[in-house]
C-alpha cells in the first residue's frame, strides 16, 4: 500500500497493491499497521455506501464538533471525482481544495481528515464507499455550496444532478461569516 501526500496538509491519496491472476484480483483496502505508521485513524465507526448515476454531484458535506469525521473514500464500481475542501480555520491551506479521480480499476482511495467539506461527482455510474471515524449526527451536519465560484472546482460534469439540500448550502465566504471563521 502506497500512501502519498497531497498539496493539502493531512490529505492523502492511497494506492493499494492489486494482486491479479486468472481468477480476478485481491487487494487490501485497509491495514491498521500501515495507517498507524502514517498517523492516520485506525478506529473507524461507520461504513457507508451509495450508488449514483453519471452526472450526480454529492456534497460538499461535513460534520461539526464532537461528530466531526475523518473519511477513507473509494470506488467499488465506476469512477468519481472526489473533492475535499479545507475548512479548518487555523489551517495554512484553509479554503483550498484537493480533487482526485477515484477509479475502480485503480482501486485508489482518498483519506480526508476532520475539518474538511467533502463531495464527489460521478464520472461513470458508480458505487462509492467510505469509512467514517465517527457516527453521522443530523444536528451536526453542514455543507458548502458545491459550485461556489470562489472555490472554482471543475466537477467534470456538464449538468449536475443534485439533491435539494446540496443546492442550498452557503458559499465558503457565507459559511465563514455564519461560523465565525470555519471549523
Instruction: Evaluate whether 163 touches 141 at the Cβ level (below 8 Å).
Output: no
Q: How many CB atoms lie within 10 A of CB 21?
A: 7
Active-site annotation, residues: 61, 130
Strand partners, 74: 109, 129
Q: Residue 56: name the closest of 136, 128, 137, 131 by CA.
A: 128
| Rounded distance between C-alpha atoms, residue 134 and residue 64, angstroms | 11
| Rounded distance between C-alpha atoms, residue 144 and residue 68, angstroms | 15
C-alpha cell at 162: 443534485
Amino acid at each position: 500500500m502506497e500512501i502519498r501526500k497531497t498539496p493539502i496538509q493531512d490529505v492523502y491519496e492511497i494506492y493499494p497493491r492489486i494482486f491479479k491472476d486468472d481468477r480476478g484480483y485481491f487487494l487490501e483496502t485497509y491495514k491498521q499497521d500501515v495507517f498507524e505508521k502514517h498517523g492516520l485513524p485506525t478506529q473507524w465507526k461507520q461504513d457507508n455506501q451509495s450508488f449514483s448515476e453519471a452526472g450526480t454531484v454529492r456534497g460538499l458535506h461535513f460534520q461539526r464538533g464532537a461528530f466531526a469525521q475523518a473519511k477513507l473514500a473509494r470506488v467499488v464500481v465506476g469512477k468519481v471525482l472526489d473533492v475535499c475542501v479545507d475548512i479548518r480555520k487555523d489551517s495554512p491551506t484553509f479554503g483550498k481544495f484537493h480533487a482526485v479521480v477515484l477509479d475502480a480499476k485503480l482501486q485508489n482511495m482518498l483519506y480526508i481528515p476532520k475539518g474538511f467539506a467533502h463531495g464527489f461527482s460521478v464520472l461513470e455510474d458508480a458505487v462509492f464507499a467510505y469509512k467514517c471515524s465517527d457516527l453521522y449526527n443530523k444536528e451536526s451536519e453542514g455543507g458548502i455550496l458545491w459550485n461556489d465560484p470562489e472555490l472554482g472546482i471543475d466537477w467534470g460534469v456538464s449538468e449536475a444532478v443534485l439533491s435539494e439540500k446540496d443546492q442550498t448550502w452557503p458559499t465558503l465566504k457565507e459559511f465563514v461569516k455564519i461560523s465565525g471563521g470555519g471549523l
